[in-house]
Amino acid sequence: MPELPEIEHLARTLETALPGALVRNVSLLRPDIVRCTDRRSRRPQRRVSRDDLLLGRRIQGLLRHGKELAIVSREGPAICVHLGMSGQLWHCPAGTRLRRRDHVHCVWHLRAPRTGRPHGRLVFRDPRRFGGLWCFASIQELLATRWSQLGPDALHIRTGTLRQALSTTSRSIKAALLDQRLIAGIGNIYADEILFAAGIHPQSTASELPAARYRLLAGTIRRLLATAVAHGGSTVRDYVDGHGSAGSYASRHLVYGRAAQPCTSCGQLLSGTTIAQRTTVFCAGCQALFRQD
């Protein structure tokens, strides 16, 4: 599943094409992947119109929080995009063919900011349909409802904020990092990589870390995620950025997917277990266990 680095890199690649573009038409091929909220009651409604999908609106820009991306129009309405496990969102320039036509669920037809000429298409594709689109009357409504349920963004997490979030749970540090209500943006891949880089055993109790480890962990989270963003994120299977290109950070993974292989630091074979129903890989020699017996 795409995590924070993939969505941040996706937003940066789309920022070169979308701001200022006019949505001249919308082709919704799978209405069931869209969720819309009644503006008065805020209850989910099933029927979605093309107006909800920014028809006739001009795109102001993109926002990201955790693993979610928002397309914001100048007039107010916004769309929240979640890629789920296999979702893709890319810009197809004018005069070029779609790179994939299977499992395409929504297509926005754009006009250029200043000339009004065709500006290509923005394509949402999701083979497994675990992702989707959520329509909001304004970015304020999105922030107040959906994103208010998420913790602070991991890319900018500070020591005090991290310690406050983790001190409220007796779960393992790996399970806590995966909880989007505590910290937004970290999934299974980067949780393993972050804990290895910080030298913390994934079964350590989140609230039992020494003060110095909270500082180390916060810095490691920021540094490792920023590095992953700079390398385009990790393409393990389906992820591509806004230009349709794969990320290269997977070649830098030190523990994720490497159970029973030698640790790159000490040479000991990496261990594998399951934490919070997710496969977890770590080095028992390099990662210290902090837990109250």
What does the pLDDT read at residue 47? 74
Backbone angles phi, psi at 51, to 5 degrees: -65, -35
Buried b vs exposed e over 25-47: b needs ≥16 C-beta within 10 Å?
Answer: ebebeeeebbbbbeeeeeeeeee
Return the number of other C-beta atoms located less than 10 Å from residue 73's C-beta: 19
Amino acid type, 19: P
Catalytic residue (one of 64, 67, 111, 125): 67
Name the CATH code of domain 4-149 (choices 3.40.309.10, 3.40.30.10, 3.60.20.10, 3.20.190.10): 3.20.190.10
Instruction: Please indicate whether residue 278 is annotated as part of the active site.
Output: yes
What does the pLDDT read at residue 48? 82
- What CATH architecture is 154-282? Orthogonal Bundle (1.10)
Cβ neighbors of 50 (< 8 A, separation 6 or more) are 25, 26, 28
What does the pLDDT read at residue 103? 93
Distance (Å, whole) CA 208 – CA 163: 10
What does the pLDDT read at residue 138? 94
**Strand ranges (E), 195-270:** none
- Low-confidence residues of the chain: pLDDT under 50: none
What does the pLDDT read at residue 291? 87
Distance (Å, whole) CA 134 – CA 52: 9
Cβ 258 vs Cβ 273: under 8 Å: no
- Report the predicted TM-score, pTM, of the whole model to 2 decimal places: 0.94
Structural domain spans, the chain: 4-149, 154-282
What does the pLDDT read at residue 43? 58
What does the pLDDT read at residue 40? 52
Written as six digits, the tokens of 62 are: 């993109």
Instruction: Please indicate whether residue 210 is annotated as part of the active site.
Output: no
What does the pLDDT read at residue 49? 85
Cβ 49 vs Cβ 135: under 8 Å: no
Written as six digits, the tokens of 216 are: 């180390």
Distance (Å, whole) CA 199 – CA 194: 9
What does the pLDDT read at residue 110? 98
What does the pLDDT read at residue 293? 62
